[in-house]
């Protein structure tokens, strides 16, 4: 199958919206922001709307693209689809009616697996816990040709939901929000990882239970462990340092939590310091053996 992306953990990108605003430390060198400026210069219609110069940039203003909504309906072969590589689906500038339609397309195409990654964990949690939102998604799915009875499983089994985690502060906040959101598969994108993150610490506030093996013995409603953990350093101009030990610790935590670890790259700073053949530090053969791990999640 032809792929339109070089992102190792997906097969296809789909951008029903574009544009965004920086919201946390991981956004500092946003690749999509730089790319949008380039695409605007090339005259691409999707990238002509400028965003706030303080938080966004040329061609990176929030834009909804109804003409792109229907693309997955035309893909016959099942594929793994990263939704919004050039935006954040839960950005407050994207109207809820458009989200009904976008989720409706995903519900109407169960042959595909959709990967949604966000830094707007609050809106994700509130929308996906709202029965009215689910009702509207089922309604839209029917409009797109999915039989009413077939689409009424919530959370949708073909949607994998993820949050970005760049440091321990955001791990503690976003992993909890992800656990409180209904999802068939939950994942973390710890990329660019900017400091050490331990899953065990993300639940260290639990006042009630002990921590055998490092994890709370629960049951706690906000301790639903992720199924998949993507780990990576930063690449490109201005890339910040990455320590292989951070990846090693997260691989250990993933094993303990029963999650699949996927190490994507070790970042430009590491690549330069270690004479790696790929400037992103993305070639497994250059890495310490213990970090050469690329696994995919199974539904629990």
> Burial level of 6, CB count in 10 A (0-12/13-18/19+)?
exposed
Decide: 45 and 36 in contact? Cβ < 8 Å: no
Interacting span for ligand SF4 (CB under 6 A) from 22-30, 69-77, 139-147, 208-216: 22-30
Q: How far apart are CB 94 and ligand SF4 at their closest, in Å?
A: 12
Q: How far apart are CB 137 and ligand SF4 at their closest, in Å?
A: 23
Does residue number 30 form part of the binding site for ligand SF4 (CB under 6 A)?
yes
Interacting span for ligand SF4 (CB under 6 A) from 26-34, 95-103, 226-234, 263-271: 26-34
Q: How far apart are CB 232 and ligand SF4 at their closest, in Å?
A: 13
DSSP state for residue 120 in the 8-state scheme:
-
Q: Which of 10, 12, 33, 103 binds ligand SF4 (CB under 6 A)?
A: 33
Q: Which of 5, 7, 13, 23 binds ligand SF4 (CB under 6 A)?
A: 23
Question: Phi, psi (5° rounding) for residue 118?
Answer: -140, 155
Does residue number 108 form part of the binding site for ligand SF4 (CB under 6 A)?
no
List of residues 6+ apart from 203 with CB closer than 8 A: 175, 176, 215, 216, 220, 222, 223
Decide: 210 and 249 in contact? Cβ < 8 Å: no
Q: Is the dihedral of CA 72, 75, 76, 78 positive or negative?
A: negative
Among 195, 298, 188, which Cα is nearest to 246's?
195
One symbol per residue from 65 to 104: x for binding ligand SF4 (CB under 6 A), - otherwise; what is it?
-----------------------x----------------
Q: Which of 16, 18, 20, 58 binds ligand SF4 (CB under 6 A)?
A: 20
DSSP state for residue 240 in the 8-state scheme:
P
Rounded CA separation 299/131 (Å): 23
Biggest alpha carbon–alpha carbon distance for the chain: 57
Interacting span for ligand SF4 (CB under 6 A) from 24-32, 192-200, 217-225, 266-274: 24-32
Interacting span for ligand SF4 (CB under 6 A) from 9-17, 18-26, 40-48, 126-134: 18-26
Does residue number 240 form part of the binding site for ligand SF4 (CB under 6 A)?
no
Q: Which of 11, 15, 17, 22 binds ligand SF4 (CB under 6 A)?
A: 22
Decide: 256 and 215 in contact? Cβ < 8 Å: yes
For ligand SF4, the closer CB: 20 or 99:
20
Does residue number 194 form part of the binding site for ligand SF4 (CB under 6 A)?
no
Angle at 201 between CA 200 and CA 203, to 5 degrees: 80
Would you tell me which residues interact with ligand SF4 (CB under 6 A)? 20, 22-23, 26-27, 30, 32-33, 88, 119
């Amino acid at each position: 199958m032809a792929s339109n992306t070089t992102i190792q953990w997906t097969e296809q990108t789909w951008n029903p919206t574009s544009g965004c605003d920086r919201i946390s430390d991981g956004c500092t060198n946003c690749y999509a922001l730089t790319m949008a400026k380039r695409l605007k210069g090339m005259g691409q219609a999707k990238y002509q709307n400028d965003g706030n110069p303080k938080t966004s940039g040329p061609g990176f203003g929030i834009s909804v693209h109804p003409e792109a909504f229907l693309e997955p309906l035309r893909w016959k072969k099942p594929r793994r689809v990263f939704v919004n590589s050039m935006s954040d689906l839960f950005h407050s500038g994207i109207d809820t009616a458009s989200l009904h339609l976008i989720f409706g397309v995903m519900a109407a195409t169960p042959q595909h697996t959709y990967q949604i990654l966000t830094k707007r964990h609050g809106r994700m949690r509130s929308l996906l816990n709202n029965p009215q939102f689910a009702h509207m998604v089922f309604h839209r799915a029917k409009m797109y040709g999915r039989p009413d009875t077939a689409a009424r499983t919530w959370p949708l089994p073909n949607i994998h939901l993820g949050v970005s985690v760049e440091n321990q502060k955001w791990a503690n906040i976003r992993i909890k929000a992800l656990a409180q959101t209904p999802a068939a598969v939950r994942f973390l994108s710890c990329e660019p990882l900017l400091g050490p993150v331990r899953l065990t610490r993300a639940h260290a506030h639990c006042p009630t239970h002990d921590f055998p093996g490092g994890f709370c013995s629960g049951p706690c409603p906000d301790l639903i462990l992720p199924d998949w953990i993507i780990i990576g350093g930063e690449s490109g101009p201005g890339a910040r340092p990455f320590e292989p030990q951070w990846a090693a610790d997260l691989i250990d935590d993933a094993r303990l939590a029963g999650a699949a670890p996927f190490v994507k790259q070790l970042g430009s700073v590491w690549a330069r310091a270690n004479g790696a053949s790929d400037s992103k530090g993305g070639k497994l053969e250059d890495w310490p053996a213990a970090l050469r791990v690329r696994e995919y999640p199974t539904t629990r």
